[in-house]
Amino acid sequence: MKIFLKISILIVFFNFFASCSDPVSDKFQLLPPETHLSVFSMPGDTIAPGATIKKISWWGDSPNGFVVGYRISFDSLNWGYTTKNDSTFIFTIQGSDSTFRIWVASVDDKGKVDPTPATNLYPVINSAPTMVFDAGTDLPDTVYPVLTLKWTATDPDGNSTIKNFFWSLDDTNNFRPISGSLNIMTLTKDSGITTGAHRIFMKCIDNAGAQSNIVRMPLDSTKTFYIKPVTGRVLLIKDMPLNELNDLNNYFSQSLDTVRYDVLDIKSYSGKLIPKIINPMFIETLKLFKVVIWSGNRGGQQTANDPNFTLAQNSIPFYLAAGGKLLWSSGIPDNFAGQGSLFNFAPVDSIKSTCFIQFNFPGDTLTSTISGYPNLIANQFIATTRGLYFPPNVSSVYKLKYNPARPYCLDDSFIGIKDVNNNPKLILMVMPIYYLNGNTNNSKSFIKKVFTEFGIL
């Protein structure tokens, strides 16, 4: 009897613990994950309209494991996959607004996929782009027929949605399109730019047809810029102190009396006539002319009046490479930075940094070293002139002969060179030629010889 009772108790004990097992555990393990979106909406509802750029977040729960990734779709037919919990989407629309739906389905570590993906409707409203001309790129009030405009445009829906820019000359009735990928434009005579007073208007439009504000150049709505014509093949760049302007004008009015030339004054008005955008506007302006004469000061300790070497270094190499011809004439400042570094556009090895020549008036003569070039006689005192060293393949044109009265200069000082002997593109003088006008006939002969070598006479 006791043995039977013990067996009965054991049977009841095992039956009890057997009854504690979960009869649905196997079914629980079969449950797929659930997916949630960061913004919920009731069926049939939509989220408040917003921008076309949206950051959407999601997460998932797995009853019997953990979520390893998510399937994403915008049409419930074509699905992508990601392990991220959020992403930023750009919804591209063709009209003023539209509505998009997204589906997200969690995937757990067992490979099970949420059969009822989370989904929401996202209405978007297109935002208009805006544009401005870049600060510091204003056009000078007087220019030759080359205009470069630079701008910045933004679109809240993504700058890539900007489809076209438009520009119009003088009014807002005749806009012409250019690519929406541009942020700079150069207009020339081929673009319809003509002599006279003008304004430029610009705007942009995005893929959905929304237009930006209209901007104008000049920025001041009461002003215009003036385009002056190109009248000759020679451009004279005045880059000397204003108190020497009369000397320069007298020299060139005499020596260029048979040659039509145009003028660009880059010292007057605190340099406001220099285009702000050097490449391409200033370079393309130089290319309008066959020959450029760049005339600077005497050099020495006149820092504020030194020639604009930075402008020259950033433009002349491109001009010469395009076939232009240059006559450069200026002194060398005392504070030049390194041997020959001023002249990245000329074949100069180095500058005589310890040889300071005082070119006296009257008396000193710049002696020609090559046939056809006249001697040049000073008509003004020129201080601290320096000579040049140059490679063997470069031809000298002028030198100042050694003078025992200048013991710090132990040999002849070469003052003028040209890049090659025949058909040169560059003639470099390290003295201002408008102070080498002691003999006006020789000045005329010098300019005539230069122009003959440059092929315009």
**Is 435 found in the same domain as 367?**
yes
pLDDT band at 22 (very low <50, low <70, confident <90, very high): very low
Tell me: pLDDT of 15 over 80: no
Given a cut of 50, whether residue 303 has pLDDT beyond it is yes
Nearest Cα to Cα of residue 328 among 374, 294, 377 = 294
Region of 351 please: left (phi>0), alpha (psi -120 to 50) or beta. Answer: beta
Residue 303's CB is within 10 A of a number of other CB atoms, namely 9
Check whether residue 193 and residue 328 sit in a common domain: no
Is the pLDDT score of 40 beyond 80?
no
H or E element that contains 106:
strand 97-108
pTM above 0.85, yes or no: no
| Better-scored residue on pLDDT, 346 or 122 | 346
Tens-place pLDDT, residues 65-74: 899 999 999 9
Where are the alpha helices (H) located in 357-431, listed in sequence order? none
Tokens of 107: 């995937």
Residue 457 CB neighbours (<10 A): 12
Residue 173 neighbours by CB under 8 Å, 6+ apart: none
- 10 vs 383, higher pLDDT: 383
Domain end marker among 159, 193, 227? 227
Residue 202: inside a domain: yes
The whole-number pLDDT of residue 52 equals 63
Secondary structure of 5-28 in HEC code, one letter for each residue: HHHHHHHHHHHHHHHCCCCCHHHH
Last residue of a domain, one of 192, 227, 262: 227
| Residue 398 near residue 367, CB atoms below 8 Å | yes
Average pLDDT over residues 31-39: 87
Distance CA 210, CA 207 (A): 8
pLDDT at residue number 325: 98
| Angle, CA 292 vertex, CA 288 and CA 294 arms, to 5° | 135
CATH of residue 50's domain is 2.60.40.10
pLDDT higher than 90, residue 281? yes
Owner of token pair 């004439």? 329
401 or 85, higher pLDDT: 85
Gap between the Cα atoms of 181 and 423, Å rounded: 42
Question: Could you tell me if residue 293 is inside a domain?
Answer: yes
> pLDDT value at position 361?
57
Furthest-apart CA pair in the chain: how many Å? 151
Mean pLDDT of the chain: 86
Distance CA 130, CA 159 (A): 10
For residue 42, what pLDDT is reported?
42
Q: Residue 191 falls within a domain, yes or no? A: yes
**Confidence category of residue 375, pLDDT binned at 50, 70, 90:** very high
Task: Evaluate whether residue 47 is within a structural domain.
Answer: yes
- Assigned token pair, 104: 């997200």
Q: Do residues 241 and 96 both lie within one domain?
A: no
Cα 81 to Cα 71: distance, rounded to the nearest angstrom: 4
Q: Which of 66-75, 83-92, 154-163, 288-297 has the lowest mean pLDDT?
A: 83-92
In a domain, 16, yes or no: no
Cis peptide before 280 (omega within 30 of 0): yes
pLDDT of residue 47: 52
Q: Within this chain, do residues 202 and 332 fall inside the same structural domain, yes or no?
A: no
Is there a contact between 306 and 298 (Cβ–Cβ < 8 Å)? Answer: no
Same-domain pairing of 205 and 135: yes
Which range of residues forms the domain containing residue 146? 130-227
Percent of the chain with pLDDT over 70: 86
Which domain-ending residue is among 102, 125, 148?
125
Q: What is the CATH number of the domain that holds 240?
A: 3.40.50.880
Same domain, 321 and 402: yes
Least confident of 37-41, 173-177, 376-380, 401-405: 37-41
Q: What confidence score (pLDDT) does residue 407 get?
A: 65
| Pairing outcome for strands 426-429 and 325-329 | parallel
Residue 363: band (very low, low, confident or very high) from pLDDT cuts 50, 70, 90: low
What six digits make up the tokens of 320? 């010469």
Contacts of 416 (CB under 8 A, 6+ apart): 366, 396, 397, 398, 399, 427, 428, 429, 430
Q: Is residue 389 part of a domain?
A: yes
Task: Write out pLDDT tens, residues 237-269.
Answer: 999 988 999 999 999 999 999 899 999 999 999
Q: In this predicted structure, which of 130-139, 166-175, 330-339 has the lowest mean pLDDT?
A: 330-339
Nearest to 333 by CA among 347, 353, 311: 353
Answer yes or no: do 261 and 404 share one domain: yes
91 pLDDT more than 80: no
Are residues 428 and 375 part of one domain? yes
- Give the model's pLDDT for residue 21: 47
Please tell me whether residues 118 and 139 are part of one structural domain: no
Say yes or no: 166 and 87 in one domain: no
pLDDT band of residue 193 (cuts 50, 70, 90) is very high
Beta pairing class for 225-227 and 196-198: antiparallel
* Residues 238 and 207 reside in one and the same domain: no
Predicted local confidence at residue 127, as pLDDT: 82
Beta-sheet strands, E only, within 109-250:
118-125, 130-133, 142-143, 146-154, 162-169, 176-179, 184-188, 196-198, 200-206, 215-217, 225-227, 234-239
HSE on the CB side for 168, CA within 13 Å? 13
User: Structurally, how many domains does the chain consist of?
Assistant: 3
Mean predicted confidence (pLDDT) in 270-287: 96
Least confident among 43-52, 114-123, 210-219, 336-345: 43-52
Verify that 255 and 313 share a domain, yes or no.
Answer: yes
